[in-house]
Amino acid sequence: MKTLTTITVAVMLSTSTMPLLADYSKDFSVADDPLYIKACSSCHFAYQPGLMPARSWQKMMLNLEEHFGENVVVEKQKALTEYLVKNAADFSNYKRAVKLIRSLPKAQIPLRITEIPYIMRQHDELLPEMVRGNPDVKTLSECDICHSGAELGSYSEDDINIPGYGPWDDDSFSLYLSHFKNDVGKFYNDLFITKVKVKGEIIAIDDHLITIKPANLQLDSDTMQIDIQHAKFKNGNRANLRPNSVIEVKGGWDGNHLYARKVEFDLNAKVKGQIIAINDHLITIKPYKMKGIPLNNDTVQADIQNAEFEDGNHTHLRQHAFLKIKGNWDGEHLYAHEIEFED
């Protein structure tokens, strides 16, 4: 539940101090229409129009009598719909709105923000006990419970505070241990685990156990065994684990194994350019900017079979599209980890 007064104050603040707005320009444009705030924020958070496509708002506004079990009555329905449609994600230049639209198949008309792939992906690390099982949260739909800047359109990772868990910290060790408590059972609770950060080259991969040669740690042995069963991957994914890749791992060391919490790849190459050919999982790019790739390459061949799309997906790969790829250069190919489309 939200009182009207607090929202009005937030809106006044955000429009009277322009620099504040500019700071948030990467997220979503602020919901600043008094008509909208009056009509749509008495039961829940006043969602920014940029959180859904126009087609979703149109469909929702045509069926307010059956709005998630509520009969919502509004004045000036036409003006309200116009406001939502005009500021919808598909007409927004805000970075997150653009990503949100790209994540959504064109034929889909979601009626929930929390069902949009981009939003789902952002929250896939939250444990059930932080949301549904959390009496102070209960639902992901109340954005402003956790995002303290939500009313100003800011969802920055630095402004997240989950009731009962505190500020969100990606590297949080207690969180890591709570994963263990859930998934591996009591066994690990009795172990003495120390926090370790290690960087090294992958020597072998055997299902969820990988062996690396640590470059920054002195151990009794030259190699270290890492259990990646519960790891979160940054700038790549499990399929990107290959012998010779260099990775940095954070996790808990029990004297035998490192139980990885976070795996980050050491990527040596980057290219920005335009697609000139697509051949199954190999694409050819005419670069205008490269890093870590010899300059005598007029074109760059990228192997994208295990790449993750920052925004969009495979169907957005077409001739002449501009994109940015980060990955590993093996002397011949750019083995892509991350793909982002450029406008």
Q: Compare residues 55 and 67 and give the one whose CB is closer to ligand HEC.
A: 67
Span interacting with ligand HEC, options 17-25, 106-114, 217-225, 306-314, rule CB under 6 A: 106-114
Q: Would you count residue 326 as binding ligand HEC (CB under 6 A)?
A: no
Q: Which two tokens stand for residue 174?
A: 């207690």
102 near ligand HEC (CB under 6 A): no
Q: Which of 246, 251, 223 is nearest to 235 (CA)?
A: 246
Binding segment for ligand HEC (CB under 6 A), chosen from 126-134, 189-197, 205-213, 326-334, is 126-134
The contact mask relative to ligand HEC for 142-161 (x = CB under 6 A, - = no) is xx-xxx-------xxx--x-
339 touches 309 (CB < 8 A)? yes
Q: Does 2 bind ligand HEC (CB under 6 A)?
A: no
- Looking at the Cβ atoms of 114 and 315, the one nearer to ligand HEC is 114
Q: Which of 162, 196, 267, 271 binds ligand HEC (CB under 6 A)?
A: 162
The amino acid at 212: I
Q: Which stretch binds ligand HEC (CB under 6 A): 107-115, 246-254, 268-276, 317-325?
A: 107-115
Which tokens in the block code for residue 175? 């969180």
- If one asks whether residue 51 binds ligand HEC (CB under 6 A), the answer comes out as yes
Residue 114 near ligand HEC by CB under 6 A: yes
Q: Is 231 among the residues that bind ligand HEC (CB under 6 A)? A: no
Q: From CA 16, how far away is CA 6, in angstroms rounded?
A: 16
Torsions phi, psi for 214 (to 5 deg): -65, 140
Question: In angstroms, what is the minimal distance from the CB of 256 to ligand HEC?
Answer: 29
Number of residues that bind ligand HEC (CB under 6 A): 40
Residues in touch with ligand HEC (CB under 6 A): 39-40, 42-44, 47, 51, 67-70, 72, 74, 96, 112-114, 119, 122-123, 125-126, 130-131, 137, 139-143, 145-147, 155-157, 160, 162, 168, 170
